[in-house]
């Protein structure tokens, strides 16, 4: 084991980024044209990075597995994006956003990165507005804000419940503009299957053309992984069906350390599982907790319909337990509280694995406000209700419609049933201040890295981080590396390292295809998901994790001896693509359990049952575990390396939202 150096610039926290930018090495325009950069993934981080680097003059190649870059899963983010603009004059500042994020992450994030994130957050909003992103606006024409969990200010910018879509389309259009200008070459329906390393530096990738099945070699002076998170290890998650860890995992197998893999986010407000056929879960945006009230019946196993349960027989457990933040506690806290109520027998719906998210009070409140705004005088409750519904529809209409499509129930009339589901992964490839992994020339941006959210991410911060990394961080930090690469001429694709990497990828594919077993890829993925969800989900224990490790190892053996993949290698074969991804998820699943077992404390989304306060809150152990765990792969398992976390600015304390 060795301590990792995160290369944080010297100086006071507030000045680090400014000083860094002022002294970092630059690449002159003529040299930029000779330098090639590979970008894997075209979500917010990948699209914004590829577009920005293209604008600067680098030669960029961008890859995505979808049919067009605009489909990347950032598109599904609903609620909003944070920025320390303080447009609401409610006391927000760069420091507050920084502090909230550090605290929300339960003091397991790196101060310098988070401060930089808060600093650049304001530029993101400006950039997106300039691109024509149609954010919500007030009648005066200025930008509107709303609240999100874990904060007491209104700093979230949004576009109805489709903020991710609008931001991604902004970045996608910037990317397509560069494609048209010839600075970016776009490869859709291509998946990275191997990393090419020459003399210790990342120099290219092997990708599979998902239409023809052919393997291709691509050279780059640097490689950026913007491939998103690994929530699909759980099988059921709010991630897209294709979201996968393969690019990051191939990098990990080639020497990039994987950090804090057990830090995963279970989002409190998702539509509950309806049956074994379920292929994915759908999020109901956290913004709904602005106005909705969460409750369960006070009586266990209450079979009455929600509207028949009188007010005094309802337990608004978040408001009861956390009066200061109420329904807007951070996600980890809200999820655990829902699980606690359901485990104790108070759950609702046929599965009893759900709680109510109720808009009745908000509809009345908004209805009355409309009556007074339009001076309508004495009107019936029905009129008030209808006016209230209209307001709710404008704010959350698309979410309510989605709920109704999936469940067949009308959320304007009956409370929504919700339950926590896997949503985001704070862990990811270890990166230093420059977003560089432990492999020279290999960078990780957005959800694919681990750096900014500690053990729990606050709502509306994922979009912020993805765009911060792509628009405002990598354009500076990459130059610092490439400035020393201006003498490196493009390396031939016949170089032995390319040949070897392609052979490795091809061997793996051949091995998968030759198994010809009896069980489908999907069935293995489901079983893996169940193991990880049961033992490495919302609550973890030493006993459960040890069992899970053994179970995953057994599953891995079974997979590699009995998986059945139809079709051919040299043709479109979605089952083969999926098999490669699931094989990687299985290995990652084991590492998540290893990491969770190592961390003998509870923090953020990582809740070890053995370590809790008397009232059931996460009990951190700062003496022993105030570090980032960074795992190095080797053939027999993993070696643990640590990055010590030093808090110069914020004093870690027991996180309280009471």
Partner 1 sequence: MQHYTMNLNLKVWRQKSGTSTGGFETYSVSNISSEMSFLEMIDVLNERLIKEGGDPIAFDHDCREGICGMCSMVIDGRPHGPWKGTTTCQLHMRAFKDGDTITIEPFRANAFPVIKDLMVSRSAFDRIIQAGGYVSVNTGNAVDGNAIPIEKEKADDAFAAAACIGCGACVAACKNASAMLFLSAKVSHLALLPQGEPERKQRVVSMVAQMDKEGFGSCTNTYACEAECPKEISVLNIARLNREYLNASLSGS
Which of 31, 282, 506, 598 binds partner 1 (CB under 8 A)? It is 282
What is the token pair recorded at 527?
Answer: 């079983």
Within residues 424-463, the interface with partner 1 by CB under 8 A covers none
What is the token pair recorded at 109?
Answer: 């994030």
Span between the terminal Cα atoms of the chain, in Å:
39
Give the binding range for partner 1 (CB under 8 A) out of 61-69, 249-257, 530-538, 647-655.
Answer: 61-69
Q: Per rule CB under 8 A, is residue 132 in the interface with partner 1?
A: yes
Q: Which is nearer to partner 1, 238 or 254 (CB)?
A: 238
Edge-to-edge strand ranges of the sheet holding 215-219 = 190-198, 201-209, 215-219
Q: State the pairing for strand pair 563-564/519-520.
A: parallel
Which of 50, 51, 296, 363 binds partner 1 (CB under 8 A)? It is 51
Q: Per rule CB under 8 A, is residue 574 in the interface with partner 1?
A: yes
Q: What is the distance between the alpha carbons of residues 431 and 477, in angstroms, rounded to a whole number?
A: 12
Residue 130: CB minimum distance to partner 1, A: 4
Q: Per rule CB under 8 A, is residue 66 in the interface with partner 1?
A: yes
- From residue 234, how far is each of 8, 396, 512 by CA, in Å? 34, 28, 22
Within residues 309-348, the interface with partner 1 by CB under 8 A covers none
Residue 460: CB minimum distance to partner 1, A: 16
Which of 7, 9, 24, 76 binds partner 1 (CB under 8 A)? It is 76
Q: Per rule CB under 8 A, is residue 497 in the interface with partner 1?
A: no
Q: Per rule CB under 8 A, is residue 351 in the interface with partner 1?
A: no
Q: What is the distance between the alpha carbons of residues 47 and 28, in angstroms, rounded to a whole number?
A: 23
Give the binding range for partner 1 (CB under 8 A) out of 62-70, 441-449, 598-606, 624-632.
Answer: 62-70
Q: Which is nearer to partner 1, 29 or 275 (CB)?
A: 275
Q: What is the distance between the alpha carbons of residues 209 and 261, in angstroms, rounded to a whole number?
A: 29
Structure letter (DSSP) for residue 571: S
Q: Per rule CB under 8 A, is residue 75 in the interface with partner 1?
A: yes
Alpha helices in 408-454 (DSSP H): none
Largest alpha-carbon pair distance within the chain? 83
What is the token pair recorded at 604?
Answer: 């953020």
Could you tell me how many residues of this chain bind partner 1 (CB under 8 A)?
86
Q: Per rule CB under 8 A, is residue 113 in the interface with partner 1?
A: no
Q: What is the distance between the alpha carbons of residues 384 and 391, in angstroms, rounded to a whole number?
A: 11
Residue 628: CB minimum distance to partner 1, A: 29
Q: Per rule CB under 8 A, is residue 24 in the interface with partner 1?
A: no
What is the token pair recorded at 148?
Answer: 């999100």
Classify the C-alpha dihedral 57-59-62-67 as positive or negative: positive
Which of 5, 22, 139, 489 binds partner 1 (CB under 8 A)? It is 139
Q: What is the distance between the alpha carbons of residues 468 and 119, in angstroms, rounded to a whole number?
A: 9
Q: What is the distance between the alpha carbons of residues 578 and 585, in angstroms, rounded to a whole number?
A: 10
Give the binding range for partner 1 (CB under 8 A) out of 33-41, 399-407, 500-508, 581-589.
Answer: 399-407
Which of 3, 241, 344, 550 binds partner 1 (CB under 8 A)? It is 241
Q: Per rule CB under 8 A, is residue 240 in the interface with partner 1?
A: yes
Which of 90, 126, 413, 610 binds partner 1 (CB under 8 A)? It is 126
Within residues 401-420, the interface with partner 1 by CB under 8 A covers 401-402, 405-409
Q: What is the distance between the alpha carbons of residues 572 and 590, in angstroms, rounded to a whole number?
A: 30
- Chain position carrying tokens 């292929």: 279
């Amino acid at each position: 084991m060795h301590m990792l150096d995160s290369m944080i610039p010297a100086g006071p926290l507030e000045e680090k980024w400014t000083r860094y930018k002022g002294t970092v090495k630059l690449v002159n325009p003529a040299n930029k044209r000779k330098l090639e950069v590979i970008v894997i993934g075209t979500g917010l981080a990948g699209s914004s990075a590829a577009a920005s680097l293209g604008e600067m003059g680098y030669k960029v190649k961008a890859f995505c597995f979808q049919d067009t870059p605009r489909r990347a899963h950032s598109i599904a983010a609903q609620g909003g994006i944070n920025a320390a603009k303080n447009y609401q004059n409610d006391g927000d500042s760069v420091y507050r956003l920084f502090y909230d994020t550090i605290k929300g992450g339960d003091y397991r994030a790196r101060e310098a990165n988070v401060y930089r994130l808060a600093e650049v957050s304001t530029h993101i909003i400006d950039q997106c507005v300039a691109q024509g992103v149609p954010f919500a606006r007030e009648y005066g024409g200025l930008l509107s804000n709303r609240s999100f969990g874990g904060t007491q200010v209104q700093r979230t910018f949004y576009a109805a419940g489709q903020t991710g879509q609008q931001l991604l389309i902004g970045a996608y259009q910037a990317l397509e503009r560069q494609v048209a200008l010839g600075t970016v070459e776009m490869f859709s329906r291509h998946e990275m299957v191997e990393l090419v390393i020459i003399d210790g530096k990342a120099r290219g990738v092997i990708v599979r053309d998902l239409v023809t099945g052919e393997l291709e070699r691509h050279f780059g002076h640097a490689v950026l992984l913007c491939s998103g998170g690994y929530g699909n290890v759980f099988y059921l998650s709010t991630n897209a069906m294709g979201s996968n860890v393969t690019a990051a995992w191939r990098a990990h197998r080639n020497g990039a350390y994987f950090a804090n893999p057990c830090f995963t986010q279970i989002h409190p407000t998702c539509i509950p599982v309806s049956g074994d056929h379920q292929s994915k879960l759908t999020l109901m945006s956290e913004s709904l907790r602005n106005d909705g009230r969460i409750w369960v019946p006070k009586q266990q196993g209450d079979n009455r319909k929600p509207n028949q349960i009188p007010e005094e027989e309802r337990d608004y457990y978040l408001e009861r337990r956390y009066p200061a933040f109420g329904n807007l506690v951070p996600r980890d806290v809200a999820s655990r509280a829902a699980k606690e109520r359901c485990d104790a027998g108070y759950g609702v719906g046929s599965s009893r694995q759900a709680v109510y998210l109720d808009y009745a009070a908000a509809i009345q409140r908004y209805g009355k406000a409309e009556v007074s705004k339009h001076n309508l005088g004495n009107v019936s409750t029905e009129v008030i209700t209808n006016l209230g519904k209209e307001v709710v529809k404008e704010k959350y209409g698309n979410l309510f419609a989605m709920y109704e499509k999936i469940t067949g129930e009308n959320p304007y009339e009956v409370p929504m049933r919700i339950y926590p589901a896997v949503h985001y992964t704070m862990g990811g490839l270890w990166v230093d201040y420059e977003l560089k992994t432990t492999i020279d020339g290999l960078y990780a941006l957005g959800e694919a890295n681990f750096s900014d959210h500690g053990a729990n991410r606050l709502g509306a911060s994922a979009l912020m981080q993805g765009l911060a990394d792509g628009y405002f961080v990598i354009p500076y930090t990459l130059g610092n590396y490439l400035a020393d690469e201006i003498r490196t001429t493009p390396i031939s694709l016949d170089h032995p390292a390319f040949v070897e990497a392609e052979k490795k990828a091809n061997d793996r594919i051949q091995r998968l295809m030759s198994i010809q077993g009896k069980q489908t890829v999907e069935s293995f993925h489901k079983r893996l998901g169940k193991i990880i969800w049961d033992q490495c989900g919302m609550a973890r224990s030493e006993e459960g994790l040890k069992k899970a490790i053994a179970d995953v190892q057994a599953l891995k053996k079974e997979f590699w001896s009995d998986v059945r993949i139809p079709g051919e290698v040299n043709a479109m074969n979605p089952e083969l693509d999926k098999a490669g991804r699931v094989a990687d998820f299985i290995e990652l699943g084991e590492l998540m359990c290893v990491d969770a077992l190592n961390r003998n404390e509870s923090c953020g989304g990582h809740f070890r049952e053995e370590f809790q306060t008397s009232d059931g809150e996460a009990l951190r152990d700062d003496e022993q575990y105030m570090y980032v765990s960074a795992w190095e792969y080797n053939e027999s398992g993993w070696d643990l390396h640590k990055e010590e976390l030093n808090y110069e600015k914020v004093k870690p304390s027991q996180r309280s939202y009471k």
